């Protein structure tokens, strides 16, 4: 390969692509802002859920008929609010975001008689926020029942401990960062998509676009090796993919300050170090994907045809992380052999604060280089026959 020709082609393709401001802007907005925006929205959601939990409020219907229960709740420092009359309607329409406790008219009497009065916790499982409060409320009511039961036993001289023959303790093995990665797991996905979108336009423009314009034929009439042309074009495509990935990465660094939720902020660690490791992991992906997109596009006569062809690549790569999301915890070795999925798994390890291992990293590098070489070889071979038809 001729390095001078490579640089000439690279320079021209970069200049050409960067002049296409409108396309660049349209591509950067989703690639760079989408992820941080999602993160902010999620952090706000988590905050509001936490605030709700801290509120210690019970919304009830007919609390006046249940002074004993009221006494218990108030001892647990809960305040009691009367539910609006149309609470069912409001819950359904998600205007009310906490469950409602419905108390029967004869609650107090039935309780005294030992008739097991019925309580109703009304919620709407389609109303996510209200649904979150159901568990707390039912635990609270359970606590009341247990207290009543305990008291009744004590009156009869039975130790209340008998009702609890076993003791259950929960122990969470996830580190703070591993827990956070449930929320931050979408970041690597967005960054992989950023690489794809950054490379896509340039990959199509330098292959199918060049054919459609009729500029590929004159280009091939220059006395330069075709591999140098292909490498130059590929270099520009891969650089653009990486440039968008860099911007997308940088977007998350300030996003950290935009997270309003303290506990999330503490869990979410994404500094320059993480960003740099992300980018290094993405290099082989950008190299391989650029070549793959070019190889798919070179056979197409028009930009439109190439777009249809590349849709398959885009969907495949951007959905690959779903495999890992669907099987949380598992990380079989073949993940590293799948472009997109391998990088996703490694980036998740970075987010969880785990040390990267050489073997998986080298596997993804080898995969990227292999795809790159196959793709570029195919493009170089196809270019001539593409114009001859």
Partner 1 sequence: MIRLDQISKRFVARTAGKARAPSLFKRAAATTVQAVDQLSLDAPDGRITGLLGPNGAGKTTSLRMLAGLLPPDTGRISVDGIDAAARPREALARMGILGDAHGLYPRLSARENIVYFGRLQGMEPDAANARADELARLLDMHALLDRRTEGFSQGERMKTALARALVHDPANIVLDEPTNGLDVLATRGLREALRHLRSPEGGAKCIVFSTHIMQEVEQLCDRVTVVAGGRRVAEGTVEELLAQAGCTRFEDAFVALAYGSQNGSQNGAAA
Q: Shortest distance, CB of residue 384 to partner 1, whole angstroms?
A: 6
Question: What does each C-alpha distance from 269 to 8, 259, 360 come to in angstroms?
Answer: 41, 12, 23
CA atoms within 13 A on the CB side of 181: 22
Q: Decide if residue 130 touches partner 1 (CB under 8 A).
A: no
Q: Decide if residue 387 touches partner 1 (CB under 8 A).
A: yes
Residues in the chain: 389
Question: What does each C-alpha distance from 324 to 286, 288, 320, 352 come to in angstroms?
Answer: 20, 21, 8, 14
Q: Decide if residue 161 touches partner 1 (CB under 8 A).
A: no
Q: Shortest distance, CB of residue 25 to partner 1, whole angstroms?
A: 15
Q: Shortest distance, CB of residue 178 to partner 1, whole angstroms?
A: 47
Q: Shortest distance, CB of residue 236 to partner 1, whole angstroms?
A: 13
The residue (of 348 and 386) whose beta carbon lies closer to partner 1 is 386
Q: Decide if residue 26 touches partner 1 (CB under 8 A).
A: no
Q: Shortest distance, CB of residue 313 to partner 1, whole angstroms?
A: 25
The residue (of 38 and 220) whose beta carbon lies closer to partner 1 is 220
Q: Decide if residue 381 touches partner 1 (CB under 8 A).
A: no
Q: Decide if residue 3 touches partner 1 (CB under 8 A).
A: no
Q: Shortest distance, CB of residue 28 to partner 1, whole angstroms?
A: 17
How many residues lie near partner 1 (CB under 8 A)? Answer: 25
Q: Shortest distance, CB of residue 227 to partner 1, whole angstroms?
A: 13
Q: Which sign, positive or negative, has the C-alpha torsion 291, 293, 299, 301? A: negative
C-beta separation of 197 from 244 below 8 A: yes
**Separation between Cα atoms, residue 320 and residue 343, nearest integer Å:** 10
Contact string 194-213 vs partner 1 (x = CB under 8 A): ----------------x--x
Q: Shortest distance, CB of residue 217 to partner 1, whole angstroms?
A: 4
The residue (of 223 and 329) whose beta carbon lies closer to partner 1 is 223
The set of residues, in sequence order, having a beta carbon less than 8 Å from that of 95 and lying 6+ positions away, is: none
Q: Find the binding residues for partner 1 in span 212-231 (CB under 8 A).
A: 213-225
Token output for 56:
């210690």
The residue (of 325 and 387) whose beta carbon lies closer to partner 1 is 387
The set of residues, in sequence order, having a beta carbon less than 8 Å from that of 164 and lying 6+ positions away, is: none
Q: Which stretch binds partner 1 (CB under 8 A): 13-21, 125-133, 185-193, 312-320?
A: 13-21
Q: Decide if residue 25 touches partner 1 (CB under 8 A).
A: no
Q: Decide if residue 19 touches partner 1 (CB under 8 A).
A: yes
The residue (of 155 and 221) whose beta carbon lies closer to partner 1 is 221
User: Which positions touch partner 1 (CB under 8 A)?
Assistant: 5, 8-9, 12, 15-16, 19-20, 210, 213-225, 384, 387-388
């Amino acid at each position: 390969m001729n390095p001078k020709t490579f640089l000439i082609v690279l320079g021209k393709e970069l200049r050409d692509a960067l002049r296409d401001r409108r396309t660049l802007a349209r591509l950067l907005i989703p690639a760079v802002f989408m992820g941080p925006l999602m993160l902010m929205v999620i952090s706000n959601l988590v905050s509001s859920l936490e605030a709700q939990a801290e509120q210690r409020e019970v919304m009830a219907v007919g609390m006046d008929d249940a002074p004993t229960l009221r006494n218990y709740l108030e001892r647990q420092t809960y305040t009691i609010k009367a539910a609006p009359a149309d609470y069912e309607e409001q819950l359904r329409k998600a205007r009310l975001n906490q469950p409602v406790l419905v108390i029967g008219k004869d609650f107090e009497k039935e309780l005294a008689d030992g008739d097991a009065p019925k309580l109703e916790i009304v919620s709407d499982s389609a109303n996510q926020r209200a649904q979150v409060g159901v568990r707390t409320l039912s635990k609270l009511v359970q606590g009341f029942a247990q207290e009543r039961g305990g008291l009744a036993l004590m009156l009869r001289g039975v130790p209340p401990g008998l009702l609890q023959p076993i003791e259950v303790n929960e122990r969470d093995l996830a580190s703070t960062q591993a827990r956070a990665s449930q929320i931050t797991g979408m970041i690597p996905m967005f960054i992989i998509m950023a690489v794809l979108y950054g490379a896509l336009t340039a990959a199509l423009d330098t292959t199918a676009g060049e054919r459609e314009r009729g500029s590929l034929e004159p280009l091939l009439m220059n006395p330069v090796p075709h591999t140098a042309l292909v490498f130059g074009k590929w270099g520009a495509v891969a650089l653009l993919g990486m440039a968008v990935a860099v911007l997308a990465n940088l977007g998350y660094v300030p996003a950290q300050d935009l997270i309003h939720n303290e506990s999330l902020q503490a869990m979410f660690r994404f500094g320059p170090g993480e960003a740099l490791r992300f980018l290094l992991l993405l290099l082989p992906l950008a190299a391989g994907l650029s070549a793959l997109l070019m190889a798919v596009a070179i056979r197409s006569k028009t930009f439109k045809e190439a777009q249809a062809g590349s849709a398959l690549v885009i969907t495949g790569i951007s959905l690959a992380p779903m495999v890992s999301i669907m099987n949380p915890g598992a990380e079989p070795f073949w993940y590293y052999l799948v472009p997109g999925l391998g990088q996703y798994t490694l980036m998740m390890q970075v987010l969880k604060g785990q040390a990267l291992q050489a073997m998986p990293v080298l596997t993804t590098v080898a995969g990227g280089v292999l795809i790159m070489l196959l793709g570029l070889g195919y493009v170089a071979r196809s270019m001539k026959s593409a114009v001859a038809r």
